[in-house]
Amino acid sequence: DSGVTQTPKHLITATGQRVTLRCSPRSGDLSVYWYQQSLDQGLQFLIQYYNGEERAKGNILERFSAQQFPDLHSELNLSSLELGDSALYFCASGTDAYNEQFFGPGTRLTVL
Amino acid sequence: QKEVEQDPGPLSVPEGAIVSLNCTYSNSAFQYFMWYRQYSRKGPELLMYTYSSGNKEDGRFTAQVDKSSKYISLFIRDSQPSDSATYLCAMNNQGGKLIFGQGTELSVKP
């Protein structure tokens, strides 16, 4: 158990809908990273938050957004969902001091 | 060309074999190198973490980094069926996003 929690485990929804994925980092970690894993693209970085502020963006679609709250949990919002958004979404947390990233169990999103 | 290249396998070995997993990369700015193990689409589990060039050993696992060749390796000694998983190499700069290889699927047969 990495100490990173993610909810829900599974989401099944329809095209055009909006969903919210939630992540709680390990105790003491200020950074939260979101990654998408699909069969054809592998693990791809989406976005990083550090202590409530956006720090880095990867290939995140404009339909996707994220935020980190004062208690350091983070939410990833996916809107106008398309079939191609079906994937595993992982959250990871870490500290700048030690650089390792610890992954949560993921949320499996299926868009029908 | 991808920043990180990893042979996807699959790789099948008998129990007790020594396994060698490798990645090459193109960005010389990478300083931190990691190996993750992922079981059946579960969350990646951090196995090894190395800074810059050199070797690091942890039990049956040894990670090697050769920055001059832009080449990293993970060796697994006395492989066990429980080692069957997908192994992902990853690397980054300080505190930044991880760039992952495609993952190598390993099967250890009893």
pLDDT above 90 (res A96): no
Higher local confidence (pLDDT), A103 or A98: A103
| Range name among A15-29, A34-48, A89-103 with the lowest pLDDT average | A89-103
Quick one: residue A97, left, alpha or beta (phi over 0 = left, psi -120 to 50 = alpha)?
A: alpha
Looking at beta carbons, which residues of chain B come within 8 Å of A88? Answer: 41
Tokens of B6: 């990893």
Averaged pLDDT, B33-62? 93
Looking at beta carbons, which residues of chain B come within 8 Å of A4? Answer: 43
Confidence label for B35 from pLDDT (cuts 50, 70 and 90): very high
- Looking at residue A1, its pLDDT comes to 86
Confidence label for B95 from pLDDT (cuts 50, 70 and 90): low
Q: How distant is the Cα of B38 from the closest Cα of chain A, in angstroms?
A: 10
Residue the block writes with tokens 């880095």? A56
Rounded CA separation A24/A43 (Å): 20
- Looking at residue B96, its pLDDT comes to 81
Looking at beta carbons, which residues of chain A come within 8 Å of B85? Answer: none
Other CB atoms within 10 A of residue A70 CB? 7
Confidence label for B2 from pLDDT (cuts 50, 70 and 90): confident
- Looking at residue B66, its pLDDT comes to 94
pLDDT, averaged across chain B = 93
Averaged pLDDT, B43-52? 93
Alpha-carbon distances, residue A81 vs A6, A57, A92, A107 (angstroms): 20, 20, 23, 15
Mutate to test the interface with A, among B34, B46, B98 (most CBs of A within 10 A): B98
Searching chain A, which residue's CA lies closest to the CA of residue B100?
A: A43
